[in-house]
Every structure is written in C-alpha cells, then in structure tokens.
Amino acid sequence: MPQAPRLRSTGRHMRTTVMTSNRNKWIALLTACMLVIVVGFGGVLALRMRNNLHTQELNISNYKDGLENGALDILVIGSDTRKGNNGAYGDEDDRNSEARADVMMLLQISKDRKNVSVLSFPRDLMVDVPQCTDPESGTVYPAEENVQINESLSRGGAGCTVATISKLTGVNIDHFMLVDFNAVKELSKVVGGVQVCVDAPIDDEYSGLKLPAGTSSVEGEQALAFLRSRHGFSDGSDIGRIQAQQGFMSSLLRKVKSEGTLSNPGRLINIAEAITQNVTVDKNLGNISTLVGVGATLGGVDLSNVVFATVPTEPWSQDANRLQVSADAANVFQRLRDDKSLKEEKAPEAPATAAAPVQLDRTVPVSVYNATGLDGRSATIASVVEGLGYSNVTPGTSASPTNFTTVFYSTGYEAEAKEIAAKLNVTRVVATEEVQGVSVTIGTDFPSGEAMEKQEAAIAGNATGQTADQNKCQTAFAY
C-alpha cells in the first residue's frame, strides 16, 4: 500500500490573523441541531433521506478502543471543500486544496434519550492522529503527534476524523455526518429565517455579514454569513464565533418547536431534502433505521436539556496561535464517557446563615490583566474594582489571550478576591502563590461591559456554552 507523505498543519485562531477565506465553522452546529430535529420525523422521511445520502466508511484507523456506553454518539463534520456548488467561496487556492474538517461537533444523545449534548472542537486544536488508511486508494497515513485536528479529514476521509476524536475523548462514535456549504442556506430558507440578536451594528467585510443592532431575521446568504463570520463577534476569535453559532442554533430549535414544524409533513420533507442533498454519512447511518428508531423520543427532548458546549482549551505550548485541550477537558470527556449531560444541575442553595463580619483589606495590591486582545478592557475593569474602594489597583495586558476570566488570590486575601469576583459576576476564583494579593485576568469570555453575563446553566468542566432554551444577544466585535 502506498505510504502518504507527512502533512503540514496550517491555520491560526487569534483575531489578528486575516484569513484569505472564512471557513464554514457554522456547518457542524447547524447540522447537529437539525439532526436532532430530523431524526424525529420517522418513516415519512426515511426513503427520501436514504435515496439522497452518500456514504463512506465509519472508522478507517487502527484505533477502535472508544468506550461504548449505550448513548448514541454522532460526529458532525463541516468540510471546507470548494468543489461543486461551493466554488464561489474562497479563492483559486481554496478551490484546488484538499478538504479539511473545519468544524467537528460530537453530538451525544443519552441512553435514556432525555438529554442531548453537542461538543465543539476548534479547528486549531493540536492533537495526536492515529494511523489511517484511505479506503479507496489504500494510502496509509502514519500515526502522528501534534497535528492540527482539521487536517484529519485529508487523511483518507471522515473515518480518520472519527478515529481522531474518538482517541482524544475516549468515546466510541457510532456515526458521522459530513456536510458542506449549501445546507445552511437551504435550511434557513425552509424554516422562513432565523432570529438573531447583536448588541451593536455589524458590517463584516470578510464574511459579508451586515446587521443592525437588535433582533433580525436571517436566511440564505446572510444566515451563512452570520455563521461564517470570524470578525463580527466578541473579540474576533473562534470563541466569539462559536458563541454566535450556538445562539443561532438555539434560536433555530426554538422556532422549529414553537411553530409546529415537527407536525408539518411538507416542511419536514423540504428540511430532509436540504440536509441529505448536502451530506455524506457512514454506511450504517445510510440505512437510517437507527435514527428513525429513536426519533419519537428525541422529538420530546426539552430545549433546556439540549446543551451546546466548546471543549476547554488553552494556547498550545509550542505556538500560542494554536490550541491544546486544557486540564478542564478531562472532566468534559469523562461525562460523555459516563453518559452524563454536559449541563450541571445547580446544587440546592443552603439556608442563609448569619456570617461573622470579615474585615476586608482594600489596600491589597490588585492587578487587572487584559487577556482579551481588545483595547481598554483592563482600564474598564480596574475602574469597577476601584469603585469597591480598592486603592491599589494596577491595570495591565497579558502576553497572550486566554479564554476564561479568573480571579486569583494569594494566602490571606480570599475574602477580597470573592468580593471582586462577585462584583464582576466571575465564577472562577483560584488560590495561588504565584500572585501577590489579588489578580484579575480578563478572558475572551468577558469582551465588554462591567460585569459578566450570568450563565443560567452551568456547563461541565468550566466549558463555555448554553442550553437551547436560552435567548442571548451576541456582542459585536469592536473594530
């Protein structure tokens, strides 16, 4: 069998990098949500879907040790191919390049069919890829460490991406869906547009997204632009884009359930056509009987039990422009292996008791570091801290962005740290002797305002995300 040459990873995740084309990170989120909807439609769509679908092998690697736990795990992959109807997106280099998996979403339907978790993997994530064999050419791609995860698709097909994410998470993946650009445009038209909200006008020259402040309905090319936009939201990074995608998908699900789409055969057939004409699936899913079998139960899943989350990451140790999974990811992966929802139920609040008064030292040194990549954030938050009466506050800038806002404190300053965290609505408060006094690191999850938005649903492993019943207005990127 021919041996494949070593492949070279490419890509950046920081906002300062201007990409020659915006890749379709929206695809997996959209298809993951629509999969939840479509599989509930039963036999009326089965024949239509079966006739449209193209199929590939599920797993083409030598790694097959994922844990089987009774849940249904489906990997939804967004391909950046520019072939066929997708040739209008990107330049000549894009059209001639190998397809990559720019979005990977692991959709888990719990064994009891009461919960749905959708976990997103950023394309700039560095991982170990197992050996894969192209089922058509016989080309063998050797196992390799420190590979950008989106490259896995070019190592023989979707089956290599399945194996890569199974190896990373320890989860046995039952099926995959590989989709392209046209799905989002057609689906958004079928449902009559999707409502989105932004807190300020957006005019993104890269994706073509143009929106006024407030609520708008998007469909077709504007729906595609909303989900492709890298420079339109938050700090201009992947985190902001993923948050916007999650908001879009949640809005789509709410609309479909509220408007009776699930009981409208004509609209269901149109949705099935829109999806299946733009999708490749594994050979077992091509038979579709597995999905139809659980469809009736999925139709009744409460939106508060549909959770969107992003795998916890941090800058890669060898290149801050790429990502690696953080320690928090282990908890997220374990919950999937244990067939537990990624939504953590809030513990019952203990009855209020009179606490002994604590004497706060508001002369303690407080450092405020801007790790968002945006101008002015440390000064804004330093002013909030000073408003509490702290007199020794120093703003500064971190050397590299970080995802999560955290308040750190050294021994003796826990009470001061908790007061500051409460004012800012920051939930991460960490004791460490690496700071003197209190230190606030402002992450990309806190791009604007004087206090973080309270998250109604806690996501496991300190992951960012939301449930489908939450209606959020996205923060526009401040150019």
Q: How far is CA 352 from CA 345, 348, 349, 355, 423, in A?
A: 20, 12, 8, 9, 20
In the chain, the N- to C-terminal Cα span, in Å, equals 52
Confirm if 102 and 123 have CB atoms less than 8 A apart. Answer: yes
Confirm if 262 and 298 have CB atoms less than 8 A apart. Answer: no
Q: What is the pLDDT of residue 84?
A: 46
Q: What is the pLDDT of residue 8?
A: 44
pLDDT in tens, 214-250: 889 999 999 989 988 878 887 777 777 888 888 888 8
| Residue 163 to residue 229: CA distance in whole angstroms | 29
Q: What is the pLDDT of residue 41?
A: 46
Written as six digits, the tokens of 81 are 């191919």
Q: What is the pLDDT of residue 259?
A: 66
The residues of the chain scoring below 50 in pLDDT are: 5-31, 33, 36-44, 82, 84-91, 93-97, 294, 350, 352
Q: What is the pLDDT of residue 260?
A: 65
Cα–Cα nearest to 270, from 375, 356, 190, 181 = 190
pLDDT in tens, 115-141: 999 999 988 899 999 999 998 899 999
Q: How far is CA 470 from CA 237, 250, 308, 340, 466, in A?
A: 22, 7, 11, 20, 7
| Residue 258 to residue 146: CA distance in whole angstroms | 45
**Vertex 85 angle, CA 82 and 87, to 5°:** 35
Q: Is 150 exposed, middle or buried (0-12, 13-18, 19+ CB in 10 A)?
A: buried
Sign of CA dihedral 458, 462, 468, 471: positive
Q: What is the pLDDT of residue 91?
A: 46
Q: How far is CA 213 from the centre of its chain?
A: 24
What's the pTM value of the predicted model, to 2 decimals? 0.71
Cα–Cα nearest to 474, from 239, 233, 148 = 233
Confirm if 63 and 166 have CB atoms less than 8 A apart. Answer: yes
Q: Is 398 exposed, middle or buried (0-12, 13-18, 19+ CB in 10 A)?
A: middle
Q: Is 152 exposed, middle or buried (0-12, 13-18, 19+ CB in 10 A)?
A: buried
Domain boundaries, the chain: 26-342, 366-450
CATH of 26-342, one of 3.40.50.80, 3.40.190.10, 3.40.630.190, 1.10.10.10: 3.40.630.190
User: Mapping DSSP to helix (H, G, I), strand (E, B) and coil, where does residue 442 land?
Assistant: strand
Topology of 366-450 in CATH? Alpha-Beta Plaits (3.30.70)
Cα–Cα nearest to 309, from 29, 11, 15, 24 = 29
Provide the 10 A C-beta neighbour count for residue 5: 9
Q: How many CA atoms lie within 13 A of 351 on its CB side?
A: 1
Q: Does this chain's domain 26-342 share its CATH topology with 366-450?
A: no
Q: Is 346 exposed, middle or buried (0-12, 13-18, 19+ CB in 10 A)?
A: exposed
